[in-house]
Amino acid sequence: MVHQFHDGMLARVINDGDSSDAFSVTNGVKPGCVLAPTLFSMTFSAMLSDAFCNDKETSIKIRYRNDGRLFNLQRLQAKTKFEEHPVCDFLFADDCTLNAAREAQMQQSMNCFSTACRNFGLTISTKETEVLHQPAPQKT
């Protein structure tokens, strides 16, 4: 479907009133295209699924129950009747947050993420990349 947007599409570069020869557009989306955010989201989600599909070690696990007693935290301590779901990343617009409990896990996540980006033809902006470390609370 995305390729059909570009069938026969030509573009020119205009600089100071001079225009280049027409060239064929083979990738990307048209400027201002309303589908661009959706297409990016779908591509990015597929890339993250590829990056972390076999990597259950580096994710943070969220434990939950579906029994209707949402705010009873003691029930999450039980050894049975709960589900655990790995969470490797959070997405917002064109930003991604990788999560890990240990430094080695974060390095493994970055390695997987970097490889998947390369496989999908995406680049990581090192100027916009930040690391946030939040130490675990001290138990008393």
Compute the mean pLDDT over every residue in the chain, rounded to the nearest whole number.
76
Residue 58 reports pLDDT greater than 70: no
pLDDT of residue 43: 82
pLDDT of residue 140: 62
Rounded to whole angstroms, the Cα distance separating 52 from 95 reads 17
**Interval 6-38: pLDDT, tens:** 677 788 889 988 999 998 877 666 667 787 788
pLDDT of residue 18: 92
17: amino acid identity, one letter = G
Domains in the chain: boundaries: 1-33, 36-128
Q: What are the strands, taking DSSP E only, across the chain?
A: 10-11, 14-15, 18-19, 23-24, 60-64, 83-87, 89-92, 95-98
The half-sphere exposure of 10 on its side-chain side, counting CA atoms within 13 A, is: 6
